[in-house]
A and B are shown apart, each in its own frame.
Chain A
Amino acid sequence: MLLEFQRDVAAFLLHQAPPPAAVGRAPGAAIRFGIYRNNVAGNIAGALSGAYPSLHRALGDAGWRELAAGFAAASPPAEADLHRYGEGFAQHVARALPAPPWLCDLARLDWASSCALHAPDAPALTCQTPVGAMLLEAAPRGGATAPVVLRPHPSLRLLALGHRVRALREALLGEDDADALAASRDVASAGERLAVLRGSGGITVLALAPAAFRLATRLAGGLAVTQALAGEEHRAALKLFLEHGFFSTAEVA
């Protein structure tokens, strides 16, 4: 009985079903039970706003709650930690709001930043650590002598976006409308490749050159340093990765 009641309530809250039969018979109960629907909608919209702050800023409050409710109906939170809720919202936004086309990329960058913020902690492999210094020293010779594999920092996210949204996101989060407007004019000019990660100073979003992005992707995917590195250009990229803590450990494959 209790399980059936709870399933009926979930349908009422998420899918606009009628109130559970037993509730509906009580005087004024449908209106009163609507308070819970309002609370759930507000809490889910708030959680998505926390994960997608620049998207919310770009779209404004009008329609945000409906957008969130539509997403929640299809993909309700799967756990009580709402900081981890929102995966797939970018695709939902793309389907619900086809224009402007850069909205989806803005959402992807928001989500990557949220995931980076809430990722588990781990030590960073830097130029100052013995292993990091050794890797950097060996890079011009084509990599380390042993087949070393780097484990990406849990917060690292690599994004290849079709629109230039990094500056727009910064402007939106700065809440300066003039800056945001100026950044939005540049947004469709080209794509960009980004690395998002959490450091001691908070979230960092770095623009990467195509070769550096490919290298980071290969290393994060588990390719041995000896196979991935080639030439001075890669050494500079590896130095950048180590300076920003892209990787947490180095292991002999």
Chain B
Amino acid sequence: MSGQGPIPAVAGLGLRFAHLGEVIATTAAIPFVEVHGENHLSGPAGVALEVIRQDRAVSLHCVGLSLGSAQGIDDSHLQRLTELARRVEPALVSEHLAWNAVDHAHLADLLPLPLNRESLDVVCRNVERVQEAFGRAILVENPATYVQLPQSDIPEGAFMAELCRRTGCGMLCDIANIVVAAHNHGWDPRAHLASFPAWAIGEYHLAGHERAGDLLIDTHDRDIGAATWALFDAALASIGPRPALAERDRAIPSLAEMLAEMALVQTHLDRAEERRAA
């Protein structure tokens, strides 16, 4: 296994294109930055990430590997991401329990996967392929979902646990996605959190969501809601602190606001550490 070592249980910054120049220039304490790998494969954003990496740890969060694709991993895309990883030596690499590619069409979203034996075999095969290419274990994130597919017969927590056990991957626990999925499907969010393999969780994500009628939509465009903060605190108490960050993908606020949000995440981590030490 290669690459930089794991990140301690601190808050990081979800780095977006609009802030690249400011982050290069700032002396603010930013323990690590997390980027979407697909946004830094070429052009100025690729160069900027290499500059940022000289001073800060980087987490590569991928959105296009399509771990759930029945037709396997796009080797060309995987190769470009591993070349990026070779240049920036990320401390963490992650992807989603989702799919977005079929018949050479990339569908530009994180699409739901039926959770059954066939999908488990497919995802395990694909995760092993990705881990082999990166030369390291990755983290797989639980997605926000809006439908429960009738072909599913394995609960998400059990699916994730078996995936981690069979492939040696870890889990990126997205607290906001649990809140959204639990609301949309009538689950108890704390019970759903407890169903995940705590031993495998290597990072937390938080984000804001939108209410649309009876549904919650994972929008990443606003402040983190109270239910997500509460579930984060519950996760910190039951699972323990891990690296964590707040995601913003739309309506990107100023860097100062994002750093303030990062500091708030850190406050929750610090309180959890204090409670554990007491």
Interface flags for A73-112 (1: CB within 8 Å of B; 0: not) read 0001111111110000000000000000000000000000
A71 → chain B closest CB, angstroms: 13
Measured between beta carbons, the chain A residues less than 8 angstroms from B119 are 2
Distance in angstroms between the alpha carbons of A83 and B64 in the assembled complex: 12
Size of interface on B: residues with Cβ below 8 Å to A: 45
Select one of A7, A13, A80 contacting B65, CB under 8 A: A80
Report yes or no: A80 in contact with B74, Cβ–Cβ below 8 A.
Answer: yes
Q: Which residue of B lies closest to A13 (CB)?
A: B107
Report yes or no: A82 in contact with B108, Cβ–Cβ below 8 A.
Answer: yes
- Interface-forming stretch among A117-125, A166-174, A183-191, A233-241? A117-125
Distance in angstroms between the alpha carbons of A200 and B187 in the assembled complex: 53
Distance in angstroms between the alpha carbons of A144 and B42 in the assembled complex: 34
Measured between beta carbons, the chain A residues less than 8 angstroms from B69 are 6
Distance in angstroms between the alpha carbons of A118 and B44 in the assembled complex: 8
Given contacts A6-B99, A36-B109, A118-B43, contact A82 B38 (CB under 8 A): yes
Measured between beta carbons, the chain B residues less than 8 angstroms from A29 are 147
Which chain B residues (37-75) contact chain A, with CB distance < 8 Å? Answer: 38-39, 41-44, 47, 63-66, 68-71, 74
Question: Size band of the A side of the interface?
Answer: 35 or more
Known A3-B102, A81-B64; 7 more pairs at CB < 8 Å: A3-B71, A22-B150, A23-B150, A29-B147, A32-B215, A79-B77, A81-B77
Interface flags for A1-39 (1: CB within 8 Å of B; 0: not) read 111011101100110000000110110010011011001
Select one of B63, B70, B105, B112 contacting A76, CB under 8 A: B105
Measured between beta carbons, the chain B residues less than 8 angstroms from A82 are 38, 106, 108
Tell yes or no: A165 within 8 A of B by CB.
no
